[in-house]
Structure 1
């Protein structure tokens, strides 16, 4: 995921899935389903049913965290497609991420994400509000390792966490 809308879609997916089976779920579910109204009047019900089914998977799985990890990518794709077709939904999704992350129980606010770029690619990662996105650009062969070597980052060293 390299563009800002894809990063937002991943943050949205991570937050929505993190809210499953928590006290933040009902409000998060409603707001997430409502985002899809832009695709038609019936979409919130369809998406709501998918969210309910996925939340049931989390509840019923002996390893709820593993179930959540499996669900993030499909929801990121759905949200990215929505944002591609309806970029105006971006602000609503950003607000959903901020509000839902703030409502998550403390144990659900600790997320881990691994982002890898290969063959000179660029990788971005973000999780929820207050996240840092650190861009690590490939260095030219023989380049030094100082501050001009192509990496930039903040004090968190690349770790994002909800605010």
Structure 2
């Protein structure tokens, strides 16, 4: 059970610290304060979260990776203590993390297609793609009857 709580606390801290620099933070901050405060002292925890957010922004601006890692470690430890003290907090934290999962940016989506060309000689590269974008924006094409 301890390993599960440690993993949940680590996941929560990574998620929340990652979201501190996004637009979603304003929605997440209050929920995290409720998980940590368990109904008591939410305002104090909310202020601590905002202080951490400001410290994180400053650390990232200065390129101080260690300070950013320290902020995440502090919240990981805080979450772990909360989860140990109140098992109901674990379910609430899981629910918050499940709701946030779609909001997290996981990088570009990659689709793998396997295409085969047969029956001919090709003396140049053959490109098969869903789309090819050179970064140049053009005006949309107009079809017949478009005004």
Report if TM-score (shorter chain) is over 0.5. Answer: yes
What is the rounded CA distance, in whole Å, between the counterparts of 1:65 and 1:103 in structure 2?
A: 24
Q: Which runs of 5+ in 2 are unaligned?
A: 108-147
Is 1:86 the counterpart of 2:108? The answer is no
Partner of 2:97: 97
1:58 Cα deviation after fit: 1.7
1:44 Cα deviation after fit: 1.1
Poorly superposed stretches of 4+, deviation over 6 Å: none
TM-score between the two structures when normalised by the length of structure 1: 0.57
* Distance of aligned partners of 1:46 and 1:83 in 2 relative to their CA distance in 1, 3 Å threshold: same
Partner of 2:33: 33
Partner of 2:21: 21
Pairs within 5 Å for 1:23-62:
23-38=23-38, 41=40, 43-61=41-59, 62=62
Which has the greater radius of gyration?
2
Please report the RMSD computed on the Cα atoms of aligned residues, expressed in angstroms: 2.2
What is the rounded CA distance, in whole Å, between the counterparts of 1:67 and 1:97 in structure 2?
A: 24
The structure whose residues are more often helix, as a share, is 2
Aligned 8 A contact 2:37 2:45 in 1: no
Give the aligned length: 105
